[in-house]
Structure 1
Amino acid sequence: MNYVLYAVPFFFLLIGLELLADRWRGMRTYRLADAINSLSAGVLSTTSGLLTKVVGLLSYSFAWQHWGQFELSASNLWVWLFAFVFYDFCYYWNHRLGHERNVLWAAHSVHHQSEEYNLSTALRQTSTGFLFGWIFYLPMALVGVPPLVFLTVASLNLLYQFWVHTRHVPKLGWFEWVFISPSNHRVHHAQNPVYMDRNYGGVFILWDRLFGTFQEELDEEPVVFGVTTPLRSWNPLWANLQFYAVLWQDAVRAGSWWDKLRIWFMRTGWRPADVAAQYPLAKSDLANFVKFEVSLGRAAKVYATLQFALYVVAGTFLLGVAGNWPLTDQLLGWGWMAFGLYVLGTWLERRPWAAGLECLRLLLNAPLLWWAQQAGWLPAGGEAWSLLALYSLLSVLGLYLPRLGRAALPAA
């Protein structure tokens, strides 16, 4: 069962409640572009998962079937409890090495790029974690945890982590000695030197206490969220590629072939000496830290919000039905989602070419609708075309009416 799919409405309900809590308490933990960027990364990740989940599932099933040492039955409650705890132990090491090795950080850094901390940050997930992440869970297959149990506890672990991404819940006393809480997970998302690379558990904080990676949130050290090499973009595609690009550029520039190879697997932040000397990286200055922001008018914000809402609906639809589609259809669906989210990112960044790209996106919807009807994924008939025409008309009006209104204003 895909628990994450069923949880989507509750995610957005809780985000709405957190926004109300912001207003009630006079806080500002959300910025529109940042939240849309985080949610876009999440939509892209779940859509990409349709194509990439087979990597982890097939490798796990193969190891369980051929190398499993015990026959654990899904009908025994203790197997589920054991698997739940064991999964979090494996997650701890996956997460920890995701911070400690360059190539693994390239995938995981997406989740840390937001300079805010709220429930939308929880949904900011990587699209490339499948490359190495499956390796860390093979021990569960080797001891005989059935794939159904593995997939279920993995979903439950992920769902648990949603609620800890908030600034509205204070320290929770004894609870924090055993479980991950909002307070000790805020530490994990900090770029303050005292907090960096701490508190890796997904559900249990016990692993961090046991292996020396625990750090309490300190009253005298307010958390500064984000990464030390800022993304400075609202584009979810670039968010997934940024650190890979940094590593690739350093590898190309390195004079030593050994450095070109080992940079990918060295500790996070390691760079060849010659490259570091000639091409220093700009790092955050916490003393004068300024969050990335691009000024947008009200009309542009409304347009971006409404367009993104449609992509959330489309992403949920794909997550629910596209699992049985042929690979080519899944690739086309992913491409449509990825391109649309990229265009939305350019809109939020006020790129000069954003309006032109948006018009191209709207035009491409027509052949995509025809394809979806031919493939049987959407019902045939004129109703869909009428809705597409209305949507396109409203989108064009939303694009250009605010500009015409500004042009008609008399000069001051």
Structure 2
Amino acid sequence: MNYILYAVPFFFGLIALELLLDRWRGLSTYRFSDAINSLSAGVLSTTVGLLTKVVGVFAYTVAWQHVALFELSASSLWVWLFAFVFYDFCYYWNHRLGHERNVLWAAHSVHHQSEEYNLSTALRQTSSGFLFGWIFYLPMAVAGVPPLVFLTVAALNLLYQFWVHTRHIPKLGWYEWLFITPSNHRVHHAQNAVYMDRNYGGVFIVWDRLFGTFQEELDDQPVVFGVTTPLASWNPLWANVQFYVALWRDAVRAESWWDRLRIWFMRTGWRPADVAAKYPQHKADLSQFVKFDVPLSLAQKCYAGVQFSLYVLGGTLLLGLGNDLSLAQVLLGVAWMAVGLYVLGVWLENRPSAKRLEVLRLLLNLPAAWLAVQLGLLASQPLLWTLLLGYSLLSLGALFWTPRGENAVPA
């Protein structure tokens, strides 16, 4: 069962509830473009996951079949409880090293780039975590945890983490000693020096207490959310490659071949001495921290919101079809989602090329739909073409009616 798919309506329902709480309590924990960017990263991640999840599943299954030390039964309750705790232990180390090693942080940093903290941040996930993440869970295969149990507890672990991404819930007393809570996870998303690289557990905070990575949220140290090297973009594709590009640039600039190789696996933030001297990086003063933003008109926001809703529906459809899709169908779906979300990011940044790219995207919808029909992803029905043509014409009309704001990001 795809638990994430069935949870999607609850995710958006709780986001709506949090927005109402914001208004009721006079808080402002959401910004339009930031939330759309976080959700776009999540939609892209689940779509790309249709291609990449096979890496981890295949590696886990092979290890379980050939090197498992025990035969654990999926019909035993204690196996499920053991697997749930064991998974969080493995997640702790995956998560911790994801902060402590350059190449792993390149993937995980996507989740931390938002400068807000709300339930949309929980859905902000990487599209490249599949590269190394599967390695950390092989001990579960060796212990004999069946793949079905592993996949289920992985989904439950991820679902638990959703609710802790909020600023509306205070400390929870004794619960803070055993479990991850909104308070101790707010610490995890901070860029304050006192809070950085702390509280890695997914469900249980006990691992952090055992291994010395726990930090309590302090009343006199308000959390500043985000990363010390800001993304400064609303583009989910750039969000996923930003730190990889930074590492590559430093590797190319380094004079030593040894430095070019080891930079990827050194502690996060490590740079070759010659590169650091020639290309210094300046960290922002948190006392003067200014969140990245590009002002948009209400019309621009409405247009972006409507277009993004289409991609949420498309991503949900692809996730629902899941294993029934052929490789060609998945590739088409991923390409359609990536192009659309990229153009949406350009729109949110109010770049001069935004309208031209949006026209191109709308024009490409028709050949993309035709190809989807040929591949069997969509049924060939007159209603489909009528709706698609109507949507494209209405969008083009709204596009040219929507004025471009003055405060735009330059080309």
TM-score by length of 2: 0.98
CA drift of 1:219 comes to 0.1
CA contact (8 A) 1:187 1:215 kept: yes
User: Matches of residues 106-121 of structure 1 in structure 2 within 5 Å?
Assistant: 106-121=106-121
Distance 1:116 1:218 in 2: 18
Aligned to 1:181: 181
Secondary structure of 1:111's counterpart equals: helix
Aligned to 1:310: 310
CA contact (8 A) 2:38 2:123 kept: yes
Secondary structure of 1:120's counterpart equals: helix
Give the paired residue count.
Answer: 406
Distance 1:2 1:132 in 2: 23
CA RMSD of aligned residues (A): 1.2
Aligned to 1:83: 83
Aligned to 1:230: 230
Distance 1:403 1:11 in 2: 32
Distance 1:295 1:37 in 2: 15
CA contact (8 A) 1:30 1:118 kept: yes
CA drift of 1:375 comes to 2.2
User: Matches of residues 14-163 of structure 1 in structure 2 within 5 Å?
Assistant: 14-163=14-163
Secondary structure of 2:247's counterpart equals: helix
- Answering whether residue 175 of structure 2 is matched by residue 172 of structure 1, we say no
- Structure 1 runs (4+) deviating above 6 angstroms are none
Q: Deviations over 1:340-377 (max 9, x none)?
A: 00000000001111111101110111111111222222
Secondary structure of 1:225's counterpart equals: coil
Q: Deviations over 1:4-55 (max 9, x none)?
A: 0000000000000000000000000000000000000000000000000000
CA drift of 1:403 comes to 3.3
Q: Deviations over 1:380-401 (max 9, x none)?
A: 1211111011101111111111
Distance 2:55 2:374 in 1: 29
CA contact (8 A) 1:230 1:284 kept: no
Q: Deviations over 1:216-258 (max 9, x none)?
A: 0000000000000000000000000000000000000001000
Distance 2:136 2:250 in 1: 27
Distance 2:401 2:348 in 1: 18
Aligned to 1:401: 401
Secondary structure of 1:173's counterpart equals: coil
Distance 2:365 2:4 in 1: 28
CA drift of 1:404 comes to 10
Secondary structure of 2:403's counterpart equals: helix
CA contact (8 A) 1:96 1:200 kept: yes
Distance 2:101 2:234 in 1: 25
Aligned to 1:410: none
Aligned to 1:409: none
CA contact (8 A) 2:332 2:372 kept: no
Distance 2:265 2:238 in 1: 22
Aligned to 2:386: 386
CA contact (8 A) 2:329 2:377 kept: no
User: Matches of residues 207-286 of structure 1 in structure 2 within 5 Å?
Assistant: 207-286=207-286
CA drift of 1:81 comes to 0.1
CA contact (8 A) 1:60 1:141 kept: yes
TM-score by length of 1: 0.97
Identity percentage over the alignment? Answer: 76
- Answering whether residue 364 of structure 2 is matched by residue 368 of structure 1, we say no
Unmatched runs of 5 consecutive residues or more in structure 1:
407-412
State the AA in 2 paired with 1:311: Y
CA contact (8 A) 2:157 2:203 kept: yes
State the AA in 2 paired with 1:383: L
Aligned to 1:299: 299
Distance 1:211 1:10 in 2: 34
CA drift of 1:298 comes to 0.6
Distance 2:59 2:210 in 1: 30
